[in-house]
Amino acid sequence: MTQPQLVFEPPGPGPWDLDPVHFPRPVTAYWAEMHPEPFSLGYGDMMTFYGAPFQTRVTAYVSGFCYGQMRPVPPESFPDRVARAGEVFDRKLWREQAAEWHDVRKPASVLAHHEIQDIDPDGLSDEELVDYLRRCRAHHAAMIRQHMAFTGTAVIPPSDFLVHAAQWTGLPTVKLLGLMRGASLISGGGSPQHAALVAAYRADPAAREALDADEEPGALLERLRREPTETGRALDAYLDFAGFRLLDGFDISNHYALEMPDVLLRAIRSAIDEAGAVSDVEAEIADVRSHVPEEHREEYDELLADARVGYSVRDERGVYSDIWASGLMRRAALAAGRRLAASGRLHDPEHIVFADIDEMCALVQGAASPTADELATRYAFHKAHTAKEAPTHIGDDPPPMPDASALPPPMARLMAALGTAMGEMFGVSEVAHDETVIRGLGASSGSREGTVRRVAGPSDFDRIQQGDVLLTEATTEAFNILLPLLSAIITDSGGALSHAAIVSREYGIPGVVGTRDATARIEDGARVRVDGDEGTVTVLA
């Protein structure tokens, strides 16, 4: 099978910039077809709500890699956006949207997920499965739009706090963002279902011992969740909540938790057995406050409170929206893949996820194309390439950043927050490495030594052992399920507001992100010291 070549032609006029943080590998045909429209619609919802001077962000996939460009509002719309930007800070609109998220959108999303999840795709006829595939795709698209629509609430208040607190104190970003700890429990794997699971097993030593039974992990979890006991009910509720969420990434090429029962089981055991990190965030807040000039301390308190309100939505909008919906779409696709593989029309059931939605449905209905070889080639292409092979920019040269001083004050403040957010999400360190010291961006305070486990994708998750240091290109908020196994995180991509940074802070383990190329410089199995305050990784052996 001949592999397709990487070609990077601009998908349209203007500048296009790469997103290696969310998409470190080529995406599936399903994702490339489905994602751009709901992403752009949701991004536009966010820009309109917050009065930003952009219509939206447009994305396109070039050789499977994600490129995007911002689209400004037409001049006649600019005055309305300026007025709206003023309302943002006068009325603190993020509080309104955060309340909508927690009180309305999140519970409605959970209900919608469960309605789809309660259907067993393996029990459907071919025609019913086609309808189910399209239902899952529509749900997935709606959840992506929702995810993006709440992005402003998730990033503007924390970034506005960063802008002001850095000016007042001169303290590093890792210190300031440490004050967010506890505001986003889902980032550390926390949820009512997880808390109930841990409490139930800690109260029942015999049930905890049963988790160590010498039994195939998937069969063990399935047996234990059916037991008519407190622990059985807690485990069943937790697996219903977390089992079909992706373990990493956003695309359906990534595995959901129940596909990797060994890793899931070990993470559950660790969460029960380990007390977890203890952080006196109130003392940290008071310490930073002592560096703030007296005349700004009241404003510091208010900005920090609002930052934590926004931060509470940061990872939830993914975990409760498209990360769950993506897992359900993958489950439906794999049901189709198993049928096709059983009849000899696929080499492997998983290859179906590299078809687009129309191809999936056509194959279930008996179409001969794409062939098994064609889908196997797409699968191999995905495994063979990473975003390191893609140019950072294609098309025209990026335009200079607009002069914020020329904008009306509310718009200038909004753009400062958004600019800081983008820099802290996608920025990487530019400091040179030494022979044994890799330099990145400090994401989560603390220092820890451990054995590096190089993870290129979900197929590597079963290699993670208790206390390992995760080394990867980038992570998403979905990785929080596995955090109890880790002692530290290192990534190539992403800044102090990237998902890897947030989950490491929330779980209280050191994190160094944005190293550019740590995955190429540190061997799997190496012994390292990760210093989240200094932003360094020292190779010890």
Residue 3 is predicted with a pLDDT of: 66
Q: In what order do the strands lie in the sheet with 393-395?
A: 54-62, 65-72, 15-18, 393-395
Dihedral sign from CA coordinates of 262, 264, 267, 269: negative
Q: What is the pLDDT of residue 276?
A: 60
What is the domain-level CATH number for residue 497?
Answer: 3.50.30.10
The pLDDT of residue 66 is 97
Residue 3 has what DSSP assignment? P
Say how far apart CA 315 and CA 335 lie, in whole Å.
29
The pLDDT tens digits of the residues spanning 294-320 come to 999 999 999 999 999 999 998 899 999
Compute the radius of gyration of the chain from its Cα atoms: 23
Q: Residue 15: what pLDDT?
A: 97
Phi, psi of 210 (to 5 degrees): -65, -25
CA angle 198, 204, 205 (to 5 degrees): 105
Please state, in angstroms and as integers, the Cα–Cα distance from residue 129 to each residue in 121, 132, 336, following that order.
Answer: 6, 5, 8
Does some domain include residue 87? no
The verdict on residue 351 lying in a domain is: no
What pLDDT sits at residue 472? 87
**What pLDDT sits at residue 457?**
72
Q: From CA 136, how far away is CA 116, in angstroms rounded? A: 7
Report if residue 391 sits inside a domain.
no
For the chain, list residues with pLDDT below 50.
Answer: none
Tell me how many degrees the CA angle 204-209-211 measures, rounded to the nearest 5.
Answer: 105
Q: What is the pLDDT of residue 463?
A: 86
Task: Please identify, among 273, 295, 313, the residue that sits at the C-terminal boundary of a domain.
Answer: 273
* 365 within some domain: no
Domain limit, last residue, from 273, 296, 323: 273
Inside any domain, residue 388: no
pLDDT score of 114: 98
Q: What is the pLDDT of residue 238?
A: 97
Residue 478 domain-assigned (yes or no): yes
Domain total for the chain?
A: 2
Final residue of a structural domain among 253, 273, 293: 273
Q: How far apart are CA 461 and CA 464, in angstroms?
A: 6
d(CA 421, CA 162) in angstroms, rounded, equals 9
Residue 250 covered by a domain: yes
- In the prediction, which pLDDT does 425 show? 81
Q: Which domain holds residue 480?
A: 437-539
Q: Could you tell me if residue 223 is inside a domain?
A: yes
